[in-house]
Amino acid sequence: MSSSERGRLFGALFDRGPADTGDEAWLQAMLDTEAALARALERAGLAAAGAGAAVSAAAQAGAFDVAELGRLAAGAGNPVPALVRALTAKLPPEAAAAVHKGATSQDIIDTAVMLLARRVLDAVRADLSAAARAAAGLAQAHRHTIMVGRTLLQQAVPVTFGLVAAGWLTGIDEARQGLDRILAQRLAVQFGGAAGTLAALGDEGPRVALLLAEELGLARPAAPWHTDRLRILELAAALAGACGVLSKVARDVTLLAQSEVAEVRETGPGPGPDRGGGRRGGSSAMPNKRNPVAAVVILGCARRAPGLLATLAACAEQEHQRAAGAWHAEWEPMADLLRLTGSAASWAAELLAGLEVDAHRMRANLDAAGGFPLAENVAAVLAPSLGHPAAHDLVAEASARAAAGQGFRDALLSPPLAARLAEAGITADRIDAALDPAAYLGSAVAFTDAALAAHRLLPS
């Protein structure tokens, strides 16, 4: 549970998991940046010996009044000036001189965003890895579990649940790879001073920037990126992509868990006796309900991601050397997107680890379709003898008869269609073989195995 979750009415839903983007996490990331800058300045010979250690010791979020810093932020348009004053007040003069030297507020906040993102992405990646392992387990276990496929929300040809889970697995693995690229390449220190020149540090600016990057374990960009927001946009896009992948999984689960379908169901603990009791998924009005809570909350998180991404994309247009408003508009949407992605990933790991699959119900639903999902295969079997147009027309006619109440097999073998089949040498046994779903799975198993093989090549 993240610290930002505590005391929030919806925190257990949308702040779930270890990812933390609350006020204290933000503050600590800014303080970590100030402390790293003091250490970098000392290493460069631009701050007194021991200044870095002194600032680092004082830069603990718990020692600052977040609410007061927030109130004072109104005077400068951001909380950094107030934070700098509060931090320097805790230090002796020789160490205080190293605080914020050469930096501007945007350097501190942008670098803090990078630190916050790294911490959240580490947590998200761990949960996505757990979700991927669970999806791989489902794909392996259900390589041959036959179910009806559904396209445009209508029944289509047979598939396997293993292939469905393999699709989830591939999406999650690709989302992980996208986040890995951000972690490895796109999280960079921001250090440019007032207008991107670091003039306050004279010729030592580039060296201090390099040392600052080393202290924080972030990349050092070729130049400050105050109004080049591609890093922010790429981070946001990777997060939104992860949300999109997880929402696909969650939407499939909600559809497959519908009462009329009942092919999968969630498992998971209820709220517990100290929070109202009952199993998870219960309804305040209908005691019989077993709602797919994890899937629903994942969808609740993911639905907000596109709007947040759009806001951050709109903020990428920033004027001259420092933006008026667009930079400020990034802070909360980015924090929200990090938080919601972290929550969705945490829910997904639990959802997939505990998903119950009802293979018997899957087969029963397929059989209840009366052979219609195999119509394509029947037409393909008839085509060499009847020709493609005639085979199509015969199957269409049989489908119409079946839709009026006759079974699809019975319709195919009833007069006058049976006579046309007999003339073409098509026996009832061949029709029965064409209506066997196990014989019409194409490359479902091969594709499942390929997804599993690709997954095994990825780092855990």
* Catalytic choice (118, 150, 207, 322): 322
Nearest to 314 by CA among 336, 334, 300, 299: 334
| 283 in active site | yes
64-73 per-residue burial string, b: 16 or more CB within 10 A, e: under 16: bebeebeebb
Rounded distance, CA 48 to CA 11, Å? Answer: 44
User: In this structure, what are the phi and psi dihedrals at residue 435, rounded to the nearest 5 degrees?
Assistant: -95, 5
Query: In the numeric block, which tokens belong to residue 185?
Result: 């390449």
Sequential DSSP letters for 54-104: HHHHH--GGGS-HHHHHHHHTTTTSSHHHHHHHHHTTS-HHHHTTTTTT--
| 284 in active site | no
Sequential DSSP letters for 159-226: EEHHHHHHHHHHHHHHHHHHHHHIIIII-B----TTTTS-GGGGGGHHHHHHHHHHHHT-B--SS--T
Rounded distance, CA 54 to CA 334, Å? Answer: 31
User: In this structure, what are the phi and psi dihedrals at residue 146, rounded to the nearest 5 degrees?
Assistant: -85, 140
Rounded distance, CA 454 to CA 360, Å? Answer: 29
Residue 83, number of CB atoms within 10 A of its CB? 24
* Catalytic choice (8, 181, 279, 283): 283
Nearest to 295 by CA among 264, 271, 260: 264
Catalytic residues: 283, 322
